[in-house]
Structure 1
Amino acid sequence: MKKRILAAALACLLLAGCAPETTVPLEEEPAVDGPEIAYVPLDDRPDNVERVVYLAQSLGYRLAMPELADYRTALDGQPKNYDSLQCGNPWSLYTWVLDQEAEGCDRYILSLDQLHSGGLVSSRCVTEDEIPIPGGGTTSSSELMDSLLSALAQDENNVVWLLDSVMRLAPTVGYQGGTLEDYNALRAYGAVGRPALPAGDLEASDVRTLYQQDSGGEPLNPADFGLTEEQVASYLAARSRKLALSERMLHTVQCGGYEHFRVLIGIDDSSEEESIQKNEIAYLRSQLREGDALLSGVDDLAFKAVAKLYMAESGWDSQTVHAGITYFGGTEDRPACAYDYKPLNEIVEEHLEFFGVHQLSGGSGAADVEILVLTQPNVEGMSQTESDRRKKNAYTNLVDWMKTFRNRQVPVILIDASNGAYGNDFQQALTEEAELGYLLSYAGFLDMAIVTGTALSHGFARYAHLTRGETSDAEERAFARTLADSILKDFCYKHVVREDLLAYIRIDLGGDPNNFWAPEIDREAVLKRLESGMEQSTRKVLKNLERSKLIVSLDQSTGNCGEAKWGKIELENYRFPWDRAFEISMDIRLGAFEK
């Protein structure tokens, strides 16, 4: 099976009209000529494809990926892969990985939800272990996994990152007939507290015995949640299958010969309540080896794996890196949203420990990197006037700190974990007053559960790369793309254009913003609306980036930063990867940097 290296991955990614089709490639860019990573993505959304591409390239890696149709997810009513598959193709992916091993690859990042189930969405509803083999016959997910891990373990030079997840509280709306009513009912069922696991050695079976009990040990009645016995049985069968596969994988890597394997598990959409996930999390955490991790967030797993792979190979583990952290808004002691399982500051601390970074108070002058985090505002019980004043103080203070660190040449990682609580004001203040292109990383787009992992993996990987000395032009341009992509999608799409599109699709086209095929709408009209909106909303942000300087070198002994001026930035080839308005993709063309 042919493998696809990065340039082709971006050029062929997905569709303007949103069925798979080839797009026109950009002008030829300088190529990254470093080691290759064989990567099986979680699915075909931008955070799992092009943004992983950018990050890997910015660190000098080339990323090899399977054919798109082998890992793409199609929502209900959308064109299928190979005319029959709504999800990825585990058998094809299995054989693709073995092909990479035969060709001499020795770096792997493998999403087990894709290899087991055909993607994250599919993993939430698959109840059987059977996998068809082309030409006839079947195998099972567990047998494929055993065979693949055993094959990769034969070469002690292989470095293998296995990415797994804790299943979220409910399946996906609009996939295999799932409705919003189903989602709400199953999420309510899953959010109920369960009895705590007994003490002692545990197995996955201990977790499953508590699935149908409330925290007091009483049986849960599906009818109390508007569910049937069949719906609950299917839901729990999917959870049980997924947990059993995770257990099997963890038991395998605990054996001799798997020391060069690393496991990274992400907690999918969650809850601070004592939900059905809590025992799963406790059990999985008890099975981890030193060097493995279980952290909040799933769509940022590949970012973390790429960053950690690079850090291990670049000598990061031998460095002592200090990060100053400052929160603005006053709610860091709470989850950033209703879908996270811990307070924001605890999740930040878990990620710092994962990356081996020491935490300091922000602004102490002793930090190598400063992390600025905007939380939701602590305005409960305040009048509207006082609330508005408190909000403005929070984000204006952050912007002032950012400018101060810029003047001192201190690298900054910026996290917007406010979940839209400040409207567009924060983004406007940053655009008008700050130098966005000087950041090490930024995250604020999409789910709050992944902003911490996204920002810190990109930021610390960039810092580690800068401390190694000169970087290539290809690496600099890949870094610029990932920073610009994150900023533009958050500032311009999420906070401006998407709101207009949601109303346009619902009111003018009579469609569903979550699926342009159910009912089928004029997708060309939606694309034109997107292009027009982005053309207007990106102007000021692009000007800010174009007049910015980016850090291109870092002398740890003196703290001095080498800088280069951003060149011209052009955006083109907008597309909706999943034919929904939730996220977009775009190509970013860059002019020459001026050092």
Structure 2
Amino acid sequence: MKKRIFAAVLACALLSGCGPVVLEDGGQTAERITVAYVPLDDRPDNLERAVYLAESLGYTLAMPETDDYRTRLQDQPLNENGTQYGDRADLYEWVLDQEEAGCDRYILSMDQLLSGGLVNSRSMWESEPVTLSDGTTLTEAELLDHLLTTLAEDKNNEVWLLESVMRLAPTVGYDHWDLDGYNALRSYGMVGRPVLTGDELTISNIEADYRLASDGTVLALPEFDLEEWEVSEYLAARTRKLTLSDQMLETVSQPGYENFHVLIGIDDSSVEDSIQKNEIAYLRSLLREGDALLSGVDDLAFKAIARLHLDETGWQGAKVSVQYFGGTEDQPACDYDYQPLTTIMEEHFDFFDLTAADPGTAELRVLVLTQPADETQKDTYIQALIQELDGDAAQVPAILIDAGNGTYGTAFHEALTEKVQLGRLLSYAGFLDMAIVTGTALSHGVARYAALQNGGVDTEMNRAWALTLADSVLKDFCYKNVVREDLIAYVRNDLGGNPDNFWQPAIDLEAVTARLESGMEDAAADVIENLEHSNFITALPSDQEYAQQGWGTVTLSNYRFPWDRAFEISMDITLGAFTEPHEKILGFYYK
């Protein structure tokens, strides 16, 4: 009850009717509009990275208490609600508190609100009622209905509903699933099913085909080393999730939901005609104009925040060129993408109202390093991209994507750090799968370009944008390809632990964090020096010249592992005051 009262008080304090939050910047007042945000989970892309992006566009994100949307892996300390997943009752009531306080902007993860997070949505194989703080019990269908109808009553609300197509297998180290079980179920899910079209696309037909191969024969479980109870739970979880998605889409298709926007992401997938194919087709058939179903889930919040900003600022689109280096853009970038890079890019272009253009006429450039078609030409691909990025076309703002999936080792990042102003990029992404990094890079880059185009970008917005870029570059260049490998070996060999879960068995968390800190201190030094000597665009061309400023100091601290595993990290980034533009002397930028 104390937690409930505190949440209500905090909501009022944060929102004050959800009106603008006022900040002072050099004597000029800038308004900040509050957006009520329920994250997918507590990983960095859904937490601090989302906050940075929102603040770079003039928004402030109001969020529930972290414990209400946190995910815990096996054997890790439980949340306050006594589970490994988010508190659906608290989250539901928190959203209603925001509405009562007068909020009119929402970005809501339905996986979190209905299942307690993305990971739990893959393992929740039967409906579980939700008991509210006053003792009222709601079925999941009732909770969803009450939530949507309540928000629809205020016609001033703009609501983004984020949903996902369940991936091919549950999460390793959660519930009872281990790596062998994950691999077995992923192989089972990857097999093509009978393809349904037109009137055949119903939930009951999709469910009936879950157990069938594409020729209509029943899939033999022993061939996948699976037991009946495992498959039954897995398929029941798929049915539950698809049924809730269907209810959501059917509800918002009714009159009165015109200000609701649905964005569905396809979770880890396969190029094969997998178990997802009919689900994707069915959900796509229910989308309204303005809704979208795209590859990638971890970038859903980025896409919603960016699109909210574009819609509210009268975005008219932009002409953008895309250049690929590496020669494999016509195929999926890794085993977890189900479309070629070019198709993923085209679908995201449609979502952001971007028009493909030649480099000579484009307002923006997207440069993508793919996996190498010829292993012997890796350096040639890298140098060609860098020449384009730092050559005559450098005046056109650039979005950079590393879709090499680790095939270039550290060579690409080292070359960029040596030869390119990293801090001048509009955005960068490379840490995750191509489907995710495309949405991440375009969300940040297009939103930044639109904000500059609109004018009125103040110092606080510039600083938040700089945090998004620094976070992405430092984690990909320094942690993913350098520090993480050392850390994994340290956990396994020195501590006798599991890099995928520091509680199986429990290891010295302080020792792991100290190893991370020392590793990042060494690995990040050159990248930080590059950023600190970079300039960045603060206004779009006037008389063919960009207004720009110089980066100041960049300091990293408070390293942590959000899920107590080595896969990803969080850290605090402190930026010094921006400077006058740095001058270039003998090919290097100096203060």
TM-score under structure 1 length normalisation: 0.92
* 1:127-150 Cα deviation digits (max 9, x unpaired): 122233146563222110100000
Question: Post-superposition shift, 1:200?
Answer: 2.7
Is 1:429 the counterpart of 2:415 in the alignment? yes
Using the TM superposition, give the Cα deviation of residue 559 of structure 1 relative to its aligned residue in structure 2, in angstroms. Answer: 4.9
Percent of aligned pairs with the same amino acid: 59
Separation of aligned partners in 2, 1:200 and 1:560: 57
Counterpart in 1 of 2:568?
Answer: 583
**Number of the residue aligned with 2:448:** 462
Alignment of 1:60-139 (within 5 A): 60-82=58-80, 84-133=82-131, 134=133, 136=135, 138-139=137-138
Distance 2:339 2:267 in 1: 13
2:465 is aligned with 1:479: yes
String of CA shifts for 1:475-532, please: whole Å, max 9, x gaps: 0100000000000000000010001001110111110000000100111110000000
Show the counterpart of 1:276. 275
Q: Is the 8 A contact 2:317 2:352 kept in 1?
A: no
When residues 52 and 295 of structure 1 are mapped into structure 2, their CA distance, relative to the original with a 3 A threshold, is same
Deviation digits for residues 371-420 of structure 1, max 9, x if unmatched? 000000002xxxxxxx33x111001110110001564x210000001101
**Alpha-carbon shift at residue 562 of structure 1 (Å):** 1.0
Give a deviation string over 1:233-253, Cα, whole Å, max 9, x none.
Answer: 000000000000001101001
Cα distance in 2 for residues equivalent to 1:201 and 1:249: 21
SS where residue 200 of structure 1 aligns?
Answer: helix
The answer as to whether partners of 1:405 and 1:411 remain within 8 angstroms in 2 is no
CA distance in 1, matches of 2:146, 2:130: 16
Report if the CA contact (8 A) 1:41-1:48 is conserved.
Answer: yes
**2:508 counterpart residue number:** 522
> Does residue 448 of structure 1 match 2:434?
yes
Equivalent-residue separation in structure 2 for 1:429 and 1:193 (angstroms): 42
Contact 2:201 2:278 in 1 (8 A): no
**Structure 1 CA distance for aligned equivalents of residues 286 and 403 of structure 2:** 31
User: C-alpha distance in 1, partners of 2:190/2:505?
Assistant: 31
Residues 31-430 of structure 1 correspond to what in structure 2 (within 5 A)?
Answer: 33-82=31-80, 84-133=82-131, 134=133, 136=135, 138-200=137-199, 202-316=201-315, 319-361=316-358, 363=359, 365-379=360-374, 387-388=375-376, 390-404=377-391, 407=394, 409-430=395-416
Report the AA paired with residue 191 of structure 1. Answer: M
Residue in 2 that maps onto 1:383:
none
- Supply the distance in 2 between the matched residues of 1:29 and 1:532 (Cα, whole angstroms): 36
Distance 1:135 1:368, change over 3 A: same
Separation (CA, whole Å) in 1 of partners of 2:289 and 2:418: 45
Note the residue ranges of structure 2 that are not aligned, 5 or more in a row. 15-23, 581-591
Task: Specify the code of the residue in structure 2 equivalent to 1:391.
Answer: K
Question: By how many angstroms is 1:449 displaced?
Answer: 2.6
The 3 A distance-change label for structure 1 pair 326 and 558 is farther
- Bigger RCO (CA 8 Å, 6+ sep): 1
Deviation track 1:184-233 (CA, whole Å, cap 9, x = no partner) reads 11001100000010433632222112111000011112121111111110
Shift of residue 360 of structure 1? 1.7
Structure 1 equivalent of residue 587 of structure 2: none
Tell me which residue corresponds to 2:583.
none
Contact conserved, 1:129 with 1:142, CA < 8 A, in 2? no
Shift of 1:33: 4.0
- The whole-number CA distance in structure 2 between the counterparts of 1:375 and 1:306 is 27
Aligned pairs, number: 561
- Whole-Å separation in 1 of the counterparts to 2:120 and 2:549: 44
Give the drift of 1:470. Answer: 3.0
Could you tell me which runs of 5 or more consecutive residues in structure 1 were left unpaired when the two chains were aligned: 9-27, 380-386
- In 1: Cα distance, 2:502 partner to 2:238 partner: 29
Q: What is the distance in 1 between the residues matched to 2:317 and 2:292?
A: 20
Tell me the distance in 2 between the aligned counterparts of 1:143 and 1:202. Answer: 25
Query: In structure 2, how many angstroms separate the alpha carbons of the residues matched to 1:294 and 1:79?
Result: 35
- Map of 2:589 onto structure 1: none
Superposed displacement of residue 447, structure 1: 2.9
2:522 pairs with 1:536: yes
1:304 shift after superposition: 0.1
Counterpart for residue 486 of structure 2: 500
Are the equivalent residues in 2 in contact too, given 1:298–1:450 (CA < 8 A)?
A: yes
Write the distance in 2 (CA, Å) between the matches of 1:198 and 1:460.
35
- Any conservation in 2 of the 1:337–1:449 contact (CA below 8 Å)? no
Q: Which residue of the partner structure matches residue 574 of structure 1?
A: 559
Residue 20 of structure 1 is matched in structure 2 by: none
Q: CA deviation at 1:29?
A: 11
Q: CA contact under 8 A between 2:81 and 2:87: conserved in structure 1? A: no
1:270: Cα distance to partner?
0.3
Task: Tell me the distance in 2 between the aligned counterparts of 1:399 and 1:98.
Answer: 50
- What is the letter of the counterpart of residue 256 of structure 2? G
Q: In 2 relative to 1, CA 137–468 (structure 1 residues): closer, same or farther, beyond 3 Å?
A: closer
| Root mean square deviation of aligned Cα | 1.8
Cα pair distance change 1:32/1:585, threshold 3 Å = farther
C-alpha change, 1:29 and 1:446, in structure 2 (3 Å) is farther
Distance in 2, Cα, partners of 1:519 & 1:468: 53
8 Å CA contact 1:327–1:372 kept in 2: the answer is: yes
Counterpart among 537, 542, 548 of residue 551 in structure 1: 537
| Residue identity in the other structure for 1:404 | G
Whether the aligned pair in 2 keeps the contact of 1:32 and 1:57 (CA below 8 Å) is no
